[in-house]
Amino acid sequence: MDSNSKNIMDMFERGKVVKICAPMVRYSKLAFRSLVRKYDCDVCFTPMIIAADFMRSAKARDSEFTTNQADRPLVVQFAANDPQTLAEAASAVAPFSDGVDLNCGCPQRWAMAEGYGACLINDPELVRDMIQQVRSRVENPRYSVSIKIRIHKDLRRTVDLCQKAEMAGVSWVTVHGRTVEERHQPVHYDAIRTIKDSVSIPVIANGDVKSLKDVESTCLRTGVDGVMVARGLLANPAMFAGYENTPLECVWDWVDIALEHGTPFTCFHQHLIYMLERVSSPAERRVFNALSSTSAVIDYLRHTYSS
């Protein structure tokens, strides 16, 4: 599939609510992206990739970035703190993707200690320089360059960051509606609305979206152009298609896709643990979670969920 055939910016311009699978360490890899695409997911992100490591090692490039022709539209998310390195990484993946995203939201201590992730929201000039370098290196003007951020306690700083990013040529912004310190506190929808009202580029809301109804209510409350979901899709990969819980068809789709992609057992099993959590009893979960081979998992599913 040609990268322009489902251009991300075209989706925004058509005015539809764009539904996005978030970057998730270990989980948003090719096999899972293939699954959610079957259930109305519009755009998928790779897991966060450290740009410097990616450019330093061919082995890292092969293990961190796997895709295929059907895996589109695809955004590659990088952790970076150097404009030239990010631009080189973007140039390397541009022929195989539809956009790159700079992670400015990861709150983990190791990332912030390295100058990655959420600490970047406090350096809007560096973010601006990184966007500009990517824009100058990647020739395709329709190639998406985005950032994913958290909010400041002083929202004026977040607005300033987003406006500087817009002037630098960023295509769109994803706002996780919590501060760096907040984890499970309620999402600040009013803050997302304020950011949306302060820029003319598309804005995506992220945080606490667990159903298609949540997608609709979030858009109504914030005026955003789309939503990005992480945990909600792990629990129910068919969420964007309107299912309240993971349908049995989706469970078997995952088995087929995971086996086809040679997904390691731990990852294969963990996705199923998430998918079945809402629809199984505590006793069933104890049995299922203790299984230790692909054949045992398939036997269990056939026995327990045969239609």
Active-site amino acid positions: 106
Q: Phi/psi at 161 (nearest 5 deg)?
A: -60, -50
Burial pattern 80-113, b for ≥16 Cβ within 10 A else e, equals bbebebbbbbbbbbbebbbbbbbbbbbbeeebbe
Q: Is 186 left (phi over 0), alpha (psi -120 to 50) or beta?
A: beta
C-alpha span between 7 and 109 (Å, rounded): 35
In 43-105, where do the E strands start and end? 43-45, 49-50, 74-79, 99-104
| Residue 21 zone, left/alpha/beta (φ > 0; ψ -120 to 50; rest) | beta
Q: Is 169 left (phi over 0), alpha (psi -120 to 50) or beta?
A: left
Does residue 173 sit in helix, strand or coil? Answer: strand
- Please enumerate in sequence order all residues whose Cβ is within 8 A of that of 243, keeping only pairs 6 or more positions apart, or say none: 39, 236, 250
Q: What residues contact residue 156 under an 8 Å CB cut-off, 6+ apart?
A: none
* Residues in Cβ contact with 218 at an 8 Å cutoff, skipping those fewer than 6 apart: 189, 205, 209, 224, 227
Measured distance CA(24)–CA(237) in Å, rounded: 13
Q: What is the DSSP letter of 122?
A: G
Q: Do 119 and 112 meet the contact criterion of CB atoms below 8 Å apart?
A: yes
